[in-house]
Structure 1
Amino acid sequence: MTSIPEPGLARFNASADNVALAALREVCAGRAWGGAVLAGRPYATVDDLLAAGDRATAGLTDTGLAEALAGHPPIGRPTPGDPVSAREQRGLAGASERLTAELAELNLAYEEKFGHVFLICATGMTGERMRDALEERLRHTPERERATARAELGRINRIRLSRLVTGTDTRAPTRAAAPGQAP
């Protein structure tokens, strides 16, 4: 039995390399990540595409991970005019000045400690939960935090890839624990 690709997946598979790569760079700023996913085309199913994205995320070098993380705005400061950034951080809509100030202070402490932006799959999270996660992760070692940030990047990439080819978040993963982290 032949699997018929979903319309968005068929368009993605048939797109010129430069067009598909530009779309992938909207999913993840890491060049190596986009190149790895692009190289696997054509994908028979959305699940195959998501699995390729997972492999590409897992395969990022420290430099590639840093590049991917640099493409994300800090929690509490979505990129102005970017609907994706605003949608992903909508749990902060209407946040109090106190919460906004706490997040700014915690983000700064995080960036000073780890050298990159705090990354969390914020979809569906409240501002308070994001703050609590930031406080908890500030206690991580650099190695543990790198693994946690990679896992969060993978969650974000899955949601964005799914939205790219289906227009929905129905294939978003459940929040599983990162290596060495309690669920």
Structure 2
Amino acid sequence: MLRPCVDIPRWCNEVAAARPFATAGELLSFAELAAPDFTEAEIEAALAHHPRIGERPAGSGTEARFSRSEQASVSGLEDVQDRLLAGNRAYEEKFGQVFLIRAAGRSAEEILAALQERLGHTPAEEVPVIAAQLREIAILRLEGLLHP
């Protein structure tokens, strides 16, 4: 159940091992703090499951459904799609992995601005940003599972 939220086994195991939770809020609070400081290897493995921003996620599984919903603000805008494609390419060339951002609740322009800003980061500066984005996505997805 937790793996589609973020495929980091250490996080999933810590959250599962802490059960039972008295309330959904208690679960979410614990999940926000579980497995602090994702490692670069954990981030790399988790990113393997994330589609590029602006690309339609393939598949019918829970993770693909989450991604389609989260990226709704950037679908169908051709100019934005072109700029995201170019930005994704630049990001992947620089960092060797897909650009990851919590897209839910952000406009396409906000996502593009964040992409441009993050292209200015060094790899060392980018790792904690990616980890924070993974955690935000995990919590939003967990909320979605608790309150469909």
Query: What range is the shorter-chain TM-score in?
Result: 0.7 to 0.9
1:52 counterpart = 2:34: no
Choose which of 94, 99, 112 in structure 2 pairs with 1:118: 99
**CA distance 1:69–1:57, change in 2 (3 Å):** farther
Choose which of 60, 66, 88 in structure 1 pairs with 2:70: 88
1:147 counterpart = 2:125: no
Preserved contact between residue 6 and residue 135 of structure 2 (Cα < 8 Å):
no
TM-score (norm 2): 0.88
Alpha-carbon displacement from aligned partner over 1:20-65 (angstroms, at most 9, x marks no partner)? xxx1111112222212211111112222212232223524222112
Q: SS of the residue aligned with 1:27?
A: coil
**CA distance 1:72–1:124, change in 2 (3 Å):** same
Aligned length: 144
Q: Which residue of 2 aligns with 1:100?
A: 81
After superposition, residues 10-89 of structure 1 pair within 5 angstroms as 23-81=1-59, 82-89=64-71
Consecutive unaligned residues in structure 1, runs of 5 or more: 1-22, 168-183
Preserved contact between residue 137 and residue 145 of structure 1 (Cα < 8 Å):
yes
Preserved contact between residue 27 and residue 157 of structure 1 (Cα < 8 Å):
yes
Q: Matched residues, percent identical?
A: 39
Between the aligned partners of 1:166 and 1:99, the Cα distance in structure 2 is 31
Highest relative contact order (Cα 8 Å, sep 6+), 1 or 2? 2
Between the aligned partners of 1:113 and 1:88, the Cα distance in structure 2 is 25
Higher Cα Rg, which structure: 1
Consecutive unaligned residues in structure 2, runs of 5 or more: none
Q: SS of the residue aligned with 1:42?
A: coil
Q: Which residue of 2 aligns with 1:181?
A: none
**CA distance 1:56–1:70, change in 2 (3 Å):** farther
Between the aligned partners of 1:155 and 1:165, the Cα distance in structure 2 is 15
TM-score (norm 1): 0.72
Q: Which residue of 2 aligns with 1:156?
A: 137
Moved more, 155-164 or 55-64: 55-64
